[in-house]
Structure 1
Amino acid sequence: MSKQTGKISGGPSPLRAKIGRDVAARLDANPGVKRARVDAAQMYTYENFLSDTECDALMALVDANSRPSTLLAMSDDPEYRTSDSSDLHRWSAEVLAIDTRIADLLGMPHENAETLQGQRYAVDQQFRAHCDYFHESSAYWPRMKETGGQRTWTAMAYLNNVPEGGATWFPRAGIRFKPKRGMLVIWNNMLPDGTPNYDTIHEGMRVLEGTKYIVTKWFREGAWLREAITTYVSQGKDAPAA
């Protein structure tokens, strides 16, 4: 995840524009999905996307393999991102099932999806305002181009209710989402012409009471997984971690 500024990072892209249209059309046609009442970005919610059992299982996985969250670009602010993160094992049965459901919901190729990442926020932890897309003028951009290129859509699910604080706030779009167990929030990081959309800047607000658990899945414009996807779950074997 990178710290972002107001500078436009990348220009129009016919491929990203098409991805935006195709995913939006699919979500608009799904009766379980609601489009957010904002004009600045394509944003959706899907309540009860994850069951209580799935939420509990994912929270346990996050707790079992957490590490301090990191940034792609350095920040001078030690309070910029203070959560813990966990890259969940893509090929485990419980994660693979959820991965597949999210990709199928958006109609995105499974290989374009980054590995599902869990985040945990304790009291006073936060993630200050940032965008999910990559700066194409940055030093890290060549590495991102080699692994699928630009991030297009984000899908983020809340795994628990938070007594106070912890909302996801989009200040330029003018909307905030309070953590709601099982709810999926989906947004397009691009404008209709495929240019990165600065109005998707958002903040994981400070948790004031309780602990906040989420999982996030980012989709690239191209294949993030470069090798053929082979799952060994049905054979009782472990597949290589992505």
Structure 2
Amino acid sequence: METRLHTKVTPDWHRWIGEALAAGHPPAELLATMKENRFDERAARDAIADAVFGSAVPVASPAATTAAAFTSRLAEGHVLHAGDRDIRVLVRVSRPTIALLDNVLDADECFMLRELARTRLARSQVVNPGTGVGVVQDIRTSEGANFGRGETELIARIDARAAAVMGMDGEHGEGLQAMRYGVGAEYVPHFDFFPPDDPGSEPHLRHGGQRVSTLIMYLDDVEAGGETIFPRIDFSYVPRRGQALYFEYTAPDGSLDPLSLHGGAPVLAGEKWILTKWMRENAFAG
């Protein structure tokens, strides 16, 4: 008879995760060990992500302490008017604030963005929590390409459309980032905000303040795998070309929301291409 998987991570295992990470063992190695010990993969990923990125944390910037700052910036209704096109809202989730959007990009735009990104792909990085420097780690195994705001006519058009969808001035936006995930590539569950208690967050928070929202645009269908997952609310989205996921990170009490933990499941066949836009609470000049 098959043994049931462990869905609860005990304090002893949490302590082991922390000690293993401190000793320099990569998260992928920890995940493999926990799976060998009959842990449910989602529970193991969640526990490792907690240790790597932290959990619920207070809002970092005094500029984001008013009630207005915690009102969703996404417009109401089933259709969002985004300048050059109307975008349909297919699904809404109240906490964390999530919306599945259709008709964000057309097929030609998706193709051109993929081809433009191919010319500058490099291994994706994550922020070192101690130094703030971008580093390559096994928790993120994609390739990425960064674009300056408005650097081409196409990029300028997508920048403006994304800002309209996200309900913020374009000056608050970071540059677009394209990412390609080949077979086996993934991004373990993580937060998009900068944990205020991490010393490495300080240089990022100096330029534009905290991140407040994300728009992930999907540049192609994925043959198998590659779902965008929110493990703490058991939400999973299968990428579809031209669609997008929008989400915010603020809980009703004003704290940065631990339910916004999300990740990219491993690609099992084909490729996964996404284009991401992050918004800051203040104008971003970085």
Deviations 1:165-201 (A, max 9, x none): 0000001122111010000110011113432111010
Contact 1:35 1:43 in 2 (8 A): no
What is the aligned counterpart of 1:161 among 190, 200, 221? 221
Q: Cα 1:27–1:62, aligned 2, differ >3 Å: closer, same or farther?
A: farther
Q: Give unmatched runs, 5+ long, in structure 2.
A: 1-51, 81-86
- 8 Å CA contact retained: 1:149, 1:221: yes
Mapped partners of 1:79, 1:144: distance in 2:
22
Deviation at 1:151?
Answer: 0.5
Contact 1:112 1:220 in 2 (8 A): yes
- In the TM superposition, what whole-angstrom CA distance separates every residue of 1:26-77 from its partner, at most 9, and x where no partner exists? 2446354436454431110111210001000110111111111001126999
Q: For 1:99-147, what per-residue CA distance to the aligned partner results, in whole angstroms no more than 9, with x for missing partners?
A: 0011012220111000000010000000001010110011122212221
Matching of residues 169-184 of structure 1 within 5 Å: 169-184=229-244
State the Cα distance separating 1:19 from its structure 2 match: 4.1
Pick from 198, 204, 213 the counterpart of residue 138 of structure 1: 198
Alpha-carbon distance in structure 2 between the residues aligned to 1:63 and 1:206: 20
Paired-residue identity, %:
29
* Partner of residue 55, structure 2: 6
One-letter amino acid of the structure 2 residue matched with residue 154 of structure 1 = T
* 2:265 corresponds to 1:205: yes
What's the Cα RMSD here? 2.4
DSSP 3-state at the match of 2:163: helix
What TM-score, normalized by structure 2, do the two folds share?
Answer: 0.71
Distance in 2, matches of 1:191 and 1:163, equals: 34
SS at match of 1:140: helix
The letter for the 2-side match of 1:88 is F
Specify the code of the residue in structure 2 equivalent to 1:83.
S
What does residue range 9-48 of structure 1 map to in structure 2 within 5 Å? 9-10=58-59, 13-15=64-66, 17-21=67-71, 23-24=73-74, 26-28=75-77, 30=79, 32-34=87-89, 36=91, 38-48=93-103
The AA in structure 2 aligned to 1:42 is T
| Deviation (angstroms), 1:21 | 1.9
* 1:80 maps onto 2:133 in alignment: no
Give the alignment of 1:108-127 within 5 angstroms: 108-127=168-187
What amino acid maps onto 2:205 in structure 1? K
Other-structure match for 1:230? none
Number of the residue aligned with 2:23: none
Q: For the residues of structure 1 that align with 2:122 and 2:244, how far apart are their CA atoms?
A: 23
Answer yes or no: is 1:104 the counterpart of 2:164.
yes
Q: Is the CA contact (8 Å cut-off) linking 1:43 and 1:185 kept in structure 2?
A: yes
Q: CA deviation at 1:78?
A: 4.8
Amino acid at match of 2:117: V
Q: Greater relative contact order (Cα 8 A, min sep 6): structure 1 or 2?
A: 1
CA distance in 2, matches of 1:140, 1:27: 36
Which runs of 5 or more structure 1 residues have no equivalent in the other structure?
Answer: 226-241
Instruction: Output the CA distance in 2 between the equivalents of 1:104 and 1:138.
Output: 31
3-state secondary structure, aligned to 1:44: strand
Corresponding residue number in structure 1 for 2:209:
149
Q: Amino acid of the residue matched to residue 10 of structure 1? A: V
Question: C-alpha displacement at 1:79, in angstroms?
Answer: 2.7
Structure with greater proportional helix content: 2
Q: Does 1:65 align with 2:120?
A: yes
The SS at the match of 1:162 is: coil
Equivalenced residues, count = 222
